[in-house]
Structure 1
């Protein structure tokens, strides 16, 4: 990579506008050459990302790079603000069920033109806008509510739980956002997300499961419960427990078991839970896409638990 380009990209955290490169003596032709060589990736007109960082990034990390590059590419003095999951990605909050567009608004009230790369939204009240590492964006609670309103509760709850878990926002912040942004008038999902959000939940799969439980009308289990045996010795820390029924619910994310030894250890763990009188039900990532499957599995486990105690 041209040393001038490398210096600029490093200085701006792996992203830059074409104008920032031009100010340092890099011509448009040299930028095009770098894009063709893979040294740079053009994510939108004038918005550039370091090629190596882009190729090494996970999908959600790519969205943060794309969002920051697009933000950098707008003219100096613009009132562009990153919103929705574009803001969440820059905050480092996990995403699920969203698109690849960069979502923005303008505090000046002007609406840009939505295209296949960028979606423009109405202005966000000033108290919900801040700066993070040189990028103007909405606060995490506001972004969570926006995602829930646009993409649904499944997507919103994944980010809401993660934001609470990482202390990026508080339950009170979520309440303030849903009351002030006005998005709840068009969708019931934001209010349900606020009611359900729980920082004890530790993964996107667990958040998705809780949304399915709610949609299906199932009782919400207690998350992250430590189980001990009769002598008070630690047995397991389970994803969820239906305490009144004695049913443990474990949720597998994508690629949970990478080693056969992990799978064997999990079987031993489940056998020990059953010896203590618990029924165990496992929900896979694919199960979470079909509420009917989740309901059948959970209710079957509840039925077995009641027969045990009869």
Structure 2
């Protein structure tokens, strides 16, 4: 079994392998034997288990590196390098920005987005050219629905994007600009992931009072209880139970069961100070049940607008 040279992202570039004495036949045999896989012309990955997002990131880096800087990665391909949290991301093609007024197209591997770019709209991340954080967020927001726009703007603000710069990009007309403006209007960098944004989007769409985000609670002795995803008037809180809460954010030596137990203790402490806790999961988001769950309890607490 051949061991081919890889870069910091685990990518095998053909030219690097050739320079190290390997041959195209050796690379081809490794692909045939499923030791490696071709992710882009001139780039490979060792066979491994990756999420679609992780695989896309490596493919985008390979494409950006091999382009020689002639184009900038855009949309999802730029977003994954910036670390944006996206809803309903399109990972099937590498997205690039041409910087031209027209000529956008989609081919087998790439989605080429047209539209002029200023010098400030292009930055370098991990050695490849990508559209800036603000440009990336606006481009995605204007090409998707309200929930996706809200999620990408929440995430961009969380990462330090300039709200005024994004608002400026939304001043001129472009397809989808009204959705983009609405998403930015409600965007809040305190939202911690796309799932939380989606839940808040459903609450907004239903005309319900907009919750405070990441509100901290203390018991009657002043001891910290915890921080809640959504809160209304200190009487009702809601938590989005994404899988990360019980798998990805475990404390050292903690099992998913331990995390669930810790959440139960925190919930009991909140109820002792008179705070009602409701929860939803991805399935509730997909079935659009969130607004009805929230409305029921807001009504019980008299928190609905007259």
Q: Mark yes or no: TM-score above 0.5.
A: yes
Q: Is the 8 A contact 1:85 1:144 kept in 2?
A: no
* CA distance in 2 between partners of 1:142 and 1:31 (Å): 38
Q: Identify the match of residue 231 of structure 1 among 218, 221, 241.
A: 221
Q: Quick one: structure 1 residues 34 and 98, their matched pair in 2 at CA, closer, same or farther if it must change by over 3 Å?
A: same
- Where 2:29 maps in the other structure, the secondary structure is helix
CA RMSD of aligned residues (A): 2.7
Stretch of structure 1 that moved more, 86-95 or 25-34: 25-34
Residue 53 of structure 2 is matched in structure 1 by: 60
Q: Quick one: structure 1 residues 120 and 20, their matched pair in 2 at CA, closer, same or farther if it must change by over 3 Å?
A: farther
| Aligned: 1:103 with 2:92 | no
Residue 172 of structure 1 is matched in structure 2 by: 164
Give matches, 1:208-287, under 5 Å. Answer: 208-243=198-233, 246-254=235-243, 256-257=245-246, 259-287=256-284
Residue 88 of structure 1 is matched in structure 2 by: 79
Partner deviation per Cα, 1:19-51 (whole Å, 9 max, x = no partner): 55556654432321222234432124x142321
The normalised TM-score by structure 2 is: 0.84
* CA distance in 2 between partners of 1:179 and 1:112 (Å): 22
Q: Quick one: structure 1 residues 36 and 111, their matched pair in 2 at CA, closer, same or farther if it must change by over 3 Å?
A: farther
The normalised TM-score by structure 1 is: 0.83
Offset of residue 79 of structure 1: 2.5
Unaligned runs of 5+ in 2: 248-255
* CA distance in 1 between partners of 2:124 and 2:245 (Å): 36
Q: Quick one: structure 1 residues 279 and 85, their matched pair in 2 at CA, closer, same or farther if it must change by over 3 Å?
A: same
Residue 121 of structure 1 is matched in structure 2 by: 113
Counting matched residue pairs gives 293
Offset of residue 120 of structure 1: 1.0
- Where 2:245 maps in the other structure, the secondary structure is coil
**After the TM superposition, which segments of 4 or more aligned residues of structure 1 sit over 6 Å from their partners?**
none
* CA distance in 1 between partners of 2:244 and 2:123 (Å): 36
Offset of residue 207 of structure 1: 1.5
Offset of residue 2 of structure 1: 4.3
Partner deviation per Cα, 1:102-138 (whole Å, 9 max, x = no partner): 1112236674651242111103412311222321110
Residue 155 of structure 1 is matched in structure 2 by: 148
Q: Which has the higher helix share?
A: 1
